[in-house]
Amino acid sequence: MTTQWNLLTEAHAALLDVVKGVKAEDWNRPTPCSEWTVAQVLQHAVGDQLGFASAITGGDGPSWNPFAPSGEPIADPVEFTLLGTTAAADAWATIPEDAAEVPVPVPPNVLDAVTGVGACALDAAVHAWDIAVATGQPQPLSQWAAGEILIAAKQIVEPLRAWGAYAPAVDGAEGDDAVAELLRYLGRDPKWTA
């Protein structure tokens, strides 16, 4: 059995596309994750994808701490990104859409399949946005994906805010679309610039 998760496919494509657009001189640029550079955000995002894969398969997770990324140069950023996105996609492909309990690396450590895949997609997609805006690329999120990810975010983010994984939500503004609503919920300013 193989399950096709369109949301995860789109989130992974967004991350890979923005990584392909990062110039060599941009890896140390600041990002909306105020403590991290572009390289650190990518290390975090790839580590989290490996963490989701590991939770599902029982295999090895990242060899580094995704919450303390080094920012050291990445020899092949595209290959590095594919390491995480492929592992996560392959793991989720084994999970049926109606699975009620899937192990995940975020509290409460077990989620239904739709929420769990939304959480995995959230991490890839939102960090794709972080990298894109930090490096002057177009924002990569579709309105559909943002709306779907927001549903999952509202089920997992609040407990994580207490640990500093997400900043407090930012007040909405008139005319916000689904992407802006998601970003604000995750503590980001949709108009952030480097």
Q: Tell me the average confidence (pLDDT) per consecutive run of 10 residues in the chain, 194 residues long.
A: 93 98 97 95 98 97 95 96 98 98 94 97 97 97 97 91 81 93 96 90
pLDDT at 194: 82
pLDDT at 34: 86
pLDDT at 100: 98
CA-to-CA distance for 7 and 33, rounded, in angstroms? Answer: 23
Q: What is the CATH number of the domain that holds 84?
A: 1.20.120
pLDDT at 81: 98
Domain range spanning residue 172?
Answer: 6-185
Helices (H), the chain: 6-20, 38-57, 77-92, 113-134, 143-161, 178-185
* 30, β-bridge pairs: 37
Contact call for residues 135 and 18 (beta carbons, < 8 A): yes
One-letter amino acid of 125: A
**Is residue 191 situated within a structural domain?**
no
Give Cα 170 distance to the centre of its chain: 19
Cβ-proximal residues to 6 (8 Å cutoff; 6+ apart), any chain: none
pLDDT at 1: 66
Question: pTM of the entire structure?
Answer: 0.96
pLDDT at 101: 98
**Is residue 93 situated within a structural domain?**
yes
CA-to-CA distance for 138 and 127, rounded, in angstroms? Answer: 13
Count: domains in the chain: 1
**Is residue 127 situated within a structural domain?**
yes
Q: Which two tokens stand for residue 178?
A: 């689904």
